Amino acid sequence: MINEQYQEARWLRLLLIGISLAFLVLLLIVPLSAIFYQALAAGWAVFVESLSQTEALHAIRLTLIVAVITLPINIVFGVIMAWLLAHFDFKGKQLLATLIDLPLSVSPVVAGLMFVLLFGINGLFGSWLDTNNIQVIFALPGIVLATLFVTFPLVVKSLLPNMTALGNSEEQAALTLGASVWHIFFRITLPKIKWPLLYGAILANARAMGEFGAVSVVSGHIRNLTNTIPLHVEILYNEYQFTAAFACASLLALIAILTLLLQNLVGYLQKIKHHKTKPLSDYIVLDETA
């Protein structure tokens, strides 16, 4: 009887694994392979030439600039918001947590339109910005704002469960002993949250480099000025420059793959760290019948 149940469970497990693998191959592996195949179909020289064009280089440069600007901002405000939600009770706390989740549920296109309504020439602050010769929409500031809107919850969501579980008893003890705020943060808090912080930063950075919807609305698709890599891919594809489009798309796919590898590496290192610091009592099994 037990053997029959084991065989049934084994076949069920194998069936579920097979279905999952087939699903992943069909929706992930095959499309990704097709992108790299099309990018290299005309040869390595054409691939390199497609990425060396002036418009492609500018799109890559702008994408990196946006990532470099948004990443430290996401880290700083992500830590602040996660700390606030994890360790303080105040009126409106649930509302703040809901607002942090808002960018994850609102369409990126809607997010871009919100910034156009605020900072566009006919927007709420448009006339003041125009008077002071400040351009937000169709310029780098608008792209940065739109990217921050869609990426900043990722760091908060990564840190919040960890901070809530660990608590702040060590920080309070250090504070009563006279330690400064910065000393407490860098010597106590940061070592505790470094792995989830790194995980969230990697995810936010990858999203910033691959964002399309919100950036598309606020950028204006101006060649050699406001086109990031995703926008450049769309333009190339619409102009039937398929090889160049797939070459740039393969660059984004490679970034996504590297991001997944980094995330898994961070998770693996975190498990090793947790295993090494596991208290001895966790390995001791008490005999309750004694």
- Look at residue 76 and tell me whether its pLDDT is greater than 50: yes
Residue 20 belongs to a domain: no
- The domain in which residue 119 lies consists of 43-276
pLDDT tens, position by position, 157-205: 999 988 888 888 888 888 888 888 888 888 888 888 888 898 899 889 9
Residue 5 belongs to a domain: no
CATH classification of the domain holding 81: 1.10.3720.10
Residue 156 belongs to a domain: yes
Backbone angles phi, psi at 283, to 5 degrees: -95, -5
Residue 31 belongs to a domain: no
pLDDT tens, position by position, 115-141: 999 998 888 898 899 889 999 999 999
- Give, to the nearest 10 degrees, the angle between helix 242-276 and helix 190-210: 170
Taking the C-alpha atoms of residue 51 and residue 147, their distance in angstroms, rounded to an integer, is 23
DSSP SS3 for 92: coil
CA-to-CA dists, residue 227 to 68, 132, 213, 215, 235, angstroms: 16, 25, 12, 9, 9
8 Å CB contact between 218 and 116: yes
- Look at residue 101 and tell me whether its pLDDT is greater than 50: yes
Q: What pTM did the predictor assign?
A: 0.82
DSSP conformation class of 124: T
Residue 88 belongs to a domain: yes
pLDDT tens, position by position, 198-254: 889 988 998 999 999 999 999 988 888 999 999 999 999 999 999 899 999 999 888
Residue 25 belongs to a domain: no
Say how many domains are in the chain: 1
8 Å CB contact between 138 and 218: yes
Taking the C-alpha atoms of residue 72 and residue 4, their distance in angstroms, rounded to an integer, is 57
User: Within 10 Å of residue 85's Cβ, how many Cβ atoms?
Assistant: 20
8 Å CB contact between 248 and 59: yes
Residue 36 belongs to a domain: no
- Look at residue 87 and tell me whether its pLDDT is greater than 90: no
Residue 229 belongs to a domain: yes
Taking the C-alpha atoms of residue 216 and residue 140, their distance in angstroms, rounded to an integer, is 12
8 Å CB contact between 229 and 252: yes
Query: Which pLDDT score is estimated for 1?
Result: 56
